[in-house]
C-alpha cells in the first residue's frame, strides 16, 4: 500500500484508540452504578444490531456472513470476548483506568508467547527476551512483595490473557473464514451469551444514565467501524503500534475525570511493557518481511 494509505490508517487507529478509551470511561461510570453484566448485555445488543445491519447490506447478506466452516470455534471466540469485556470493566471499577490499562498492555506479549502452542508459530530468542522484560514491567506495576499486594491487580491480567487468546483464535479462524464472517459471529454470539447472563441482573436505570448508556453503545459500534477501516486502508504492521495510545488516553481520562493517582511505579512499568510490546511487533514485522 502507499504511504498515504498507511498515514490514513494510522490516524484512523489513533481515533479508534481514543474512542476505545472513552468507552472505558463510560463503562467505568455505568458499572460503578449498575451491574456489570447488565451494562455489557445492553452494549452487546446494540453491537449485534450493528453487525447484522452491516452484514445485511453486503453482497450475500446475512446468510453469507454467517457461513462459517468452524461454528464451534467462532462461537467460542465471541463468548470469550464478551466475558473478557466483563472482566476488564470489573477491573476498571475495582482498580481504575490507569492501573487496569497498565497491566492490560501486556496482552501483545501474551499473544507472542502463546502463538507457538496455539498457532504453531516459531518465537525466536529475541521475542522471548522481550516477553520476559515485559513481564518484569508488569511486576514493577503490581509490586508483589512491596507492602500489601492487591489480588485485584490480577483481574486485568486475566482480561489480558483472555484477550490474547481471543486474538490468537481470530488469527486461527482467519485461515478458513473471512473477516466479515468472524465479525458477524463475534457480535451475535457475544450478544446471545450476555443476554443469557445479564438478563438475570436487570435493574432500573436512571434517565440520565440512559444517555450515557446510549453514548457507550454508539461509540462501541463507531470504534469497531473505524478499526475495520484502519485495517482496510493500511498494513496491519503499520497501524498496530498506535493501538497502544489507548493506554495514555485512558490514563489521562482516569486522572482528569475520576481523580485517579498516577503512581511512579505504574508509569515506569507501563513504559517497560509498551516498549517490549513494540519490540515484539517490530520483530514480527521483520520476520514477515
45-101 tens-digit pLDDT: 999 999 999 889 887 889 898 999 899 999 999 999 999 999 999 999 998 898 888
Q: CA torsion 261→265→267→268, rounded to 10°? A: 170
Q: Could you tell me the residue ranges of all domains in the chain?
A: 3-288
Confidence band for 287, pLDDT divided at 50, 70 and 90: low
CA distance 178 to 30: 34
Confidence band for 251, pLDDT divided at 50, 70 and 90: confident
pLDDT at residue 204 is higher than 90:
yes
Q: State pTM to two decimals.
A: 0.86
Q: What is the pLDDT of residue 289?
A: 44
Q: What is the pLDDT of residue 131?
A: 75
Decide: 186 and 78 in contact? Cβ < 8 Å.
yes
Q: What is the pLDDT of residue 1?
A: 39
Q: Which helix (H) or strand (E) holds 179?
A: helix 179-198
CA distance 19 to 136: 29
Locate 231 and state its grid cell.
485495517
Burial 173-207 (b: 16+ CB within 10 A, else e): beeebeebbbbbbbbbbbbbbbbebbeeeeeebee
Confidence band for 3, pLDDT divided at 50, 70 and 90: very low
Q: What is the pLDDT of residue 192?
A: 97
pLDDT at residue 279 is higher than 90:
no
For residue 216, with 0-12 CB atoms within 10 Å meaning exposed, 13-18 middle and 19 or more buried, which class applies? buried
Q: What is the pLDDT of residue 93?
A: 93
Decide: 254 and 260 in contact? Cβ < 8 Å.
yes
Amino acid at each position: 500500500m502507499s504511504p498515504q494509505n498507511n498515514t490514513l490508517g494510522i490516524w484512523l487507529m489513533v481515533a479508534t484508540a481514543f474512542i476505545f478509551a472513552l468507552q472505558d470511561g463510560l463503562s467505568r461510570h455505568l458499572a460503578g452504578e449498575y451491574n456489570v453484566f447488565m451494562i455489557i448485555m445492553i452494549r452487546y445488543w446494540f453491537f449485534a444490531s450493528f453487525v447484522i445491519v452491516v452484514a445485511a447490506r453486503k453482497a450475500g447478506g446475512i446468510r453469507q456472513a454467517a457461513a462459517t466452516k468452524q461454528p464451534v470455534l467462532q462461537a467460542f471466540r465471541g463468548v470469550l470476548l464478551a466475558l473478557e469485556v466483563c472482566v476488564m470493566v470489573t477491573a476498571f471499577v475495582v482498580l481504575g483506568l490507569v492501573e487496569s490499562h497498565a497491566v492490560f498492555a501486556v496482552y501483545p506479549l501474551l499473544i507472542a508467547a502463546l502463538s507457538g502452542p496455539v498457532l504453531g508459530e516459531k518465537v525466536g530468542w529475541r521475542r522471548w527476551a522481550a516477553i520476559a522484560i515485559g513481564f518484569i514491567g508488569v511486576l514493577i506495576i503490581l509490586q508483589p512483595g512491596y507492602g500489601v499486594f492487591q489480588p485485584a491487580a490480577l483481574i486485568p491480567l486475566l482480561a489480558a490473557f483472555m484477550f490474547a487468546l481471543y486474538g490468537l483464535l481470530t488469527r486461527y479462524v482467519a485461515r478458513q473464514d473471512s473477516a466479515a464472517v468472524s465479525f458477524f459471529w463475534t457480535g451475535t454470539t457475544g450478544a446471545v451469551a450476555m443476554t443469557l447472563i445479564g438478563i438475570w441482573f436487570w435493574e432500573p436505570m436512571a434517565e440520565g444514565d440512559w444517555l450515557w448508556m446510549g453514548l457507550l453503545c454508539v461509540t462501541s459500534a463507531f470504534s469497531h467501524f473505524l478499526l475495520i477501516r484502519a485495517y482496510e486502508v493500511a498494513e496491519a504492521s503499520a497501524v498496530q503500534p498506535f493501538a497502544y495510545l489507548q493506554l495514555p488516553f485512558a490514563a489521562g481520562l482516569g486522572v482528569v475525570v475520576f481523580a485517579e493517582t498516577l503512581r511512579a511505579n505504574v508509569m515506569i512499568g507501563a513504559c517497560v511493557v509498551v516498549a517490549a510490546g513494540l519490540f515484539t511487533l517490530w520483530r514480527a514485522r521483520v520476520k514477515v518481511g
